[in-house]
Amino acid sequence: MRIDTKTDIYGIIGHPIGHSLSPLIHNAAFESNNLNSVYVSFDVYEENLKDAILGIKALGIKGINVTVPHKENVIKYLDYVSDEAKLIGAVNTIKNNNGILEGYNTDVTGFSESLKEHGIEVEGKNAVILGAGGAARAVAVGLSLAGVRTIIVANRSKEKARNLSTYIKNNLGINCIDVTYDDLNQLEEIDILVNATSVGMSPNINLSPVDENVVVKAKFVYDIIYNPEKTLLLSYAEKCGIRNLNGFDMLINQANHSFKIWTGVNFNRSIILNILKKKDFVK
C-alpha cells in the first residue's frame, strides 16, 4: 500500500470501533483495484459527532462508513440524504462529493442479499426484530420488501419499540406490534428471529439480548453481529438445532455497495474473502 500526498482517505466512525473488519475489507479492495486510497477507523463519541462530520469536509476525507451509535444522529449534519436512507431513518455510508456530504444506506441491500444467498424464505413469515435503532429499521425494510407477513419489534424501551412499530405500519404497510423482551416469553413460535442490537458484540461476548427460552421458539435466527463469529445468541440457536446466520455476509454485501458509491465499481468478492480467510475471519 502506497501512502503519499495524493492518497485518498476513507474510513469508518462509531463507538466502540475496535471490532470492525471494515478497514481490512476496504484496504484490500482498494489495493486489488489499484487505487491510491487508504481506509482507517475513527472512534467517535456521541458528543463529538458533529465535529467529526465537519472534519470530513475540512480534511477532504472522501468517504465514511457510519456504524453504531451514529447512524441516525448523523443525518442532520449531511447536505443530501438518499430516499432509501430517509425511509430507513439511518445512514451508514457518506460520500464527500466535492464538499457536499451525501448520505446513503446500504444495510437493507446487504441484509436482503444475504438472505437470498442462503436461501432463506421470508414471504408470508412472522418475524421478531430485537432492537429499535437504525439497524432494526434497515432489517424491517428488508423483511418487508421480501414479503414478511408480520413483524414484532422487541426492545428494552417500550417507547422506542412503539416508535419503530408505528413507522413500519405507516411507511411499509406491514402488520406490526411492539413488545418488551419479557413479552417474547408469551410467544408460541417465531419464524424468523433477528438481533439488530449490538448486544453480544466483541468485546462483550458473554451477553445475549434474549435468553435461550426465547431462542428455542425460533425456526431461524439471524444475528447481524459478525464479530465474534458466533455470538451467545447464535450459540443458543446451535445448541437447539436451529438454523442460524451471523452478519458476515451482510457486512460484505453492504461494504461492496459502499465501495461502489465511492468509486463507481464493485470490489472482487473472492479476493476479499480469500484475504479474510488468511486472517482467520472466515472458516
pLDDT of 199 > 90? The answer is yes
Is pLDDT above 90 for 237? Answer: yes
| Cα R_g (the chain), whole angstroms | 19
Does the structure show a pLDDT above 60 at 283?
Answer: no
Check the annotation: does 39 bind a ligand.
no
Whole-model pTM: value is 0.89
Asked if residues 55 and 39 have their Cβ atoms less than 8 Å apart, the reply is no
> What's the rounded Cα separation, in Å, for the pair 261 and 75?
17
65 is in an annotated binding site: no
Instruction: Give tens-digit pLDDT for 210-224.
Output: 999 999 999 999 999
Cell of 199: 448486544
Residue 276 · residue 21 · CB < 8 Å: yes
Tell me whether the CATH fold assigned to 8-105+249-278 matches the one assigned to 108-246. yes
Residue-wise pLDDT for 155-190, tens only, equals 999 999 999 999 999 999 999 999 999 999 999 999
pLDDT of residue 196 exceeding 70: yes
Q: Looking at the annotation, which residues are catalytic? A: 71
Per CATH, the number for 108-246 is 3.40.50.720
The yes-or-no verdict on residue 275 having pLDDT over 90 is no
| pLDDT tens-place string over residues 33-62 | 999 999 999 999 999 999 999 999 999 999
The per-type count for the chain, helices as H runs and strands as E runs, is 10, 12
Match domain 8-105+249-278 to its CATH number in 3.40.50.2300, 3.30.1060.10, 3.40.50.10860, 1.20.59.20: 3.40.50.10860
State yes or no: cis peptide before 16, omega within 30 of 0. Answer: yes
Q: Is 134 annotated as a binding residue?
A: yes
> Is 54 one of the annotated binding-site residues?
no
Q: Which three cell numbers stand for residue 98?
A: 466535492
Tens of pLDDT, residue by residue over 89-112, are: 899 999 999 999 999 999 999 999
Long-range contacts (CB closer than 8 Å, 24 or more residues apart) made by 169-173: 171/87, 172/140, 172/141, 172/144, 173/144
Could you report the per-residue pLDDT of 241-258, keeping only the tens digit for each?
Answer: 999 999 999 999 999 999
20 is in an annotated binding site: yes
- State the chain's mean pLDDT as an integer: 94
Can you say how many angstroms the Cα of residue 164 is from the centroid of all Cα atoms in its chain?
17
Segments making up each domain of the chain, as ranges? 8-105+249-278, 108-246
